[in-house]
Amino acid sequence: MIMTGKPILFSTPMVQAILRGEPPKTVTRRLVVPQPDIRSCRFVDGIIEEYRGYPAGHADILHRSPYKPGDRLWVREAWQHIEGASGRGYEYKAGGGAHNDTGKWRYSIHMPRAASRITLEVASVRAERLRDITEEDVRAEGVELYAPRLESEAGANAWRATTPRTKFCSLWDSLYARRGFGWDTNPLVWRVQFRRVK
């Protein structure tokens, strides 16, 4: 099997969940983009292999799953350059290092491959509806480390962040609701299970 290397972005709390979580984060859900026209999907062993999507402009474009078992994913996270006795290096917002108060963090999207310190291997991938997530998968998503921030920002909607499942709902909405793919729309997502190899 040929393994590929591709970047994947994680927020600081999710990087911490991968590194120190108990249990560690081993699953991530990523929005299927574009959302598929189910009638066009080609399934292999019950998994969407390729599809045509919508909205307009995608109907004639054939899309494939961006992840496959065996793929290597290098994690992009918030980072910065540092100068040390041995030369120039990197420090990470999720690391709690000595330079964390400098305010010079760079967005994860701009992290070069050389700066990545975490490599994941895809164990399995499938498409499913967002709201089909199980309690077990909520824990595997590493939601608990994200909870304090969600609860402090919830305000009048604090009731939504009282169980692991509703914490995941709040996390999802903070990332996707403005794009029209909030929890209530129940979009199709890629459920990607992985293991850390570096």
Q: What is the pLDDT of residues 165-191, one digit of tens each?
A: 888 998 899 999 999 999 999 999 999
Q: What is the pLDDT of residues 5-32, one digit of tens each?
A: 899 999 998 999 999 877 889 999 999 8
Q: In whole numbers, what is the pLDDT of the chain averaged over residues? A: 81
pLDDT of 151: 45
Q: What is the pLDDT of residues 51-91, one digit of tens each?
A: 776 655 555 677 778 898 999 999 999 999 887 666 678 89
pLDDT of 159: 45
What is the length of the chain?
198
* Of 174, 182, 191, the residue nearest 69 (C-alpha): 191
Domains and CATH numbers, the chain: 5-196 (3.10.400)
Give the orientation angle of helix 147-154 with respect to helix 164-176, to 10 degrees: 70
